[in-house]
Amino acid sequence: MKKIGFIGLGIMGKPMALNLLKAGYELTVYDVLAERMDEALKAGARRGLSGKDVASRSEVVITMLPNSPHVREAVLGRDGVLDGAKPGTILVDMSSIAPLASREIAAQAQAKGVAMLDAPVSGGEPKAVAGTLAIMVGGPQETFDTVKDILAKMGSTVTRVGAIGSGNVTKLANQIIVALNIAAMSEAMVLATKAGVDPEKVFQAIRGGLAGSTVLDAKVPLALKGNFKPGFRIELHIKDIANALDTAHELGVPVPLSSVVMEIMQALKADGKATNDHGGIIQFYEQLAKVQVRA
C-alpha cells in the first residue's frame, strides 16, 4: 500500500501528513480550508478536490478531524470518502471522536467493502512533528497488520487494543484520568497553599509516594510558575470529556467526577480561559480561594 489519502491538515494532521511524505508515500491531501494544504503540496503531495476525490486515488485514507460530526461528514457526507472509495480501501480515522460514532461509521463503511480502524493519538503537536505520537488502534487484526507500518511513521507506539471503537474508548479513558488527576492536584495544592504551606515543599514531600503521577510532575512545576500556555487546551479537553460523558450515559456508567471536572472546565471557558493549557484547571481553584500556588 503506497497510495495514501490524508483528509484534515490542521495542527495535528499537517505534521502527520508531512511525516508520511518524508517516508516516501504517495500522498493525496484534502482540507476544507485550502490554505492548510499549502505546506504538504509544496512537500510533494497531490491536491485532492474532495473526500471522494482523495478516496478514488488512494488505497488507504486517513482522516484527522476535530470531532465526530466532522468525521461523519467527511466519510458519509456528499462527495465524501465512501462516495469515492473502491471496495478493499482501508479507512483509518485518527481523530479523537466518540467511540459509538466510530462503530456506526465503520458499519456503513463495511457495507461498501471499506474496512475501518479508529486510531486516535495522544502526545500533541510536538510529538506529531517528531513522529512520536502514541497511537491507540481499534479494528480488525488483519486491517491493523496491513497499515501498521504506515502508522509507525507517525507514532513511536502503535498499539491495537481491540475491535472498532476501542482506540477511542482507550483515548477517553486516558483523557478522564488526565483531567481528574489535574483537578486532584489542583484541590490538594490550592488547599495546602491557602493553609500556609509552601506548595513546592508539599510537591517534593508527596511526589515519591502513592500520590505520585506524571500529571503531578508535569503540571505542578508549571503551576508554580503561573505558566498556563498550551500544551493541550482546555477547550479540547472539554470536547474529550463531552464524548466521555455521552459514551458513559449511553452505556449506563456513572461518572460523577468527570461531570464535575466538565463543569469546572466550562466555568474556566466562561471566564475566557478556554485556550489555556489544561493545567490551568488549577486557576478555577486559585480564583475562588483567592490564593496562588507559586514558588
Q: Which residues are marked as active site?
A: 171
Q: How far is the CB of 192 from its own copies (least distance, A)?
A: 5
Q: Which of 90, 73, 237, 87 is nearest to 151 (CA)?
A: 90
What stretch of H or E contains 131?
Answer: none
Residue 43 or residue 184: which is nearer to its own copies going by CB?
184
Shortest reach from residue 226's CB to its own copies, in Å: 18
Are the C-beta atoms of residues 92 and 61 closer than 8 Å to each other?
yes
Please classify residue 204 by burial: count the beta carbons closer than 10 Å to its beta carbon, then call 0-12 exposed, 13-18 middle and 19+ buried. Answer: exposed
- The residue (of 22 and 156) whose beta carbon lies closer to its own copies is 156
The conformation of residue 233, written as its DSSP 8-state character, comes to B
CB of 224 to its own copies, least distance (A): 14
CA dihedral 249, 250, 252, 255 (to 10 degrees): -30
The least CB distance from residue 28 to its own copies, in Å, is 30
Cell numbers that stand for 127 in this block: 510529538
Residues 6+ apart with CB under 8 A from 117: 90, 91, 92, 93, 137, 138, 139, 140, 143, 144, 147, 164, 167
**Residue 37 or residue 133: which is nearer to its own copies going by CB?**
133
Residue number with CB closer to its own copies (27 or 189): 189
- For its own copies, the closer CB: 174 or 275: 174
Q: Answer for the pair 116, 88: CB distance below 8 angstroms, yes or no.
A: no
Grid cell, residue 261, equals 471536572
Q: How far is the CB of 294 from its own copies (least distance, A)?
A: 15
Closest residue by Cα to residue 182 from 246, 231, 243, 126: 231
